[in-house]
């Protein structure tokens, strides 16, 4: 979900460029989780005392907000390569209207059906937000 939300949110312009990041930027953005945050703290959806303490102890700062998700690691290193590939596949399917395997949705792997559902849900959320602002 985080990968899809990031990709959809930044489709018109990415606020980060890895080529421009110096050591200070990498430290601030926790690139590659160099601050060694726990899984629960890298992408926060619910605040707990443990998460608050970890952020304070490791001097972590929020990198980016994606609706109800607060990223404490650079999205490019937080989002796995496999996820980027699935995101690209969903965009390809949406653009070409061709599925991965011939036949209908019943012929597709379950992971693709799950990914497609997440993709469409995130698209609908973003469209709703855009329409709310009008």
Give the residue with greater pLDDT, 21 vs 41: 41
Span 114-127, average pLDDT: 90
Of 75, 73, 60, residue with least CA distance to 10: 75
Measured CA to CA, the distance from residue 99 to residue 96 in angstroms comes to: 8
Could you list the residue range(s) of the whole structural domain that residue 112 is in? 81-133
Same domain assignment for residues 66 and 13? yes
Same domain assignment for residues 70 and 87? no
Strand-pair category, 69-71 with 43-44:
antiparallel
Of 74, 78, 79, 64, residue with least CA distance to 29: 74
Which domain-ending residue is among 51, 78, 105?
A: 78
Which domain-ending residue is among 32, 63, 78?
A: 78
Same domain assignment for residues 93 and 60? no
Digit-coded pLDDT (tens) for 5-36: 777 777 667 788 888 889 999 999 999 999 99
- Segment holding 65, helix H or strand E: strand 64-66
Write down the pTM of the prediction: 0.78
pLDDT at 48 > cutoff 90: yes
pLDDT at residue 61, rounded to an integer? 95
Which domain-ending residue is among 52, 78, 104?
A: 78
């Amino acid at each position: 979900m985080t990968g899809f939300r990031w990709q959809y949110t930044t489709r018109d312009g990415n606020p980060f460029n890895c080529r421009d990041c110096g050591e200070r930027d990498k430290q601030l953005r926790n690139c590659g989780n160099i601050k060694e945050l726990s899984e629960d703290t890298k992408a926060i959806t619910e605040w707990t005392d443990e998460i608050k303490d970890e952020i304070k102890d490791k001097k972590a700062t929020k990198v980016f907000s994606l609706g109800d998700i607060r990223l404490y690691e650079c999205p490019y290193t937080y989002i796995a390569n496999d996820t980027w590939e699935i995101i690209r596949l969903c965009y390809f399917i949406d653009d070409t209207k061709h599925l991965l395997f011939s036949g209908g949705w019943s012929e597709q792997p379950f992971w693709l059906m799950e990914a497609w559902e997440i993709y469409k849900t995130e698209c609908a959320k973003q469209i709703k937000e855009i329409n709310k602002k009008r």
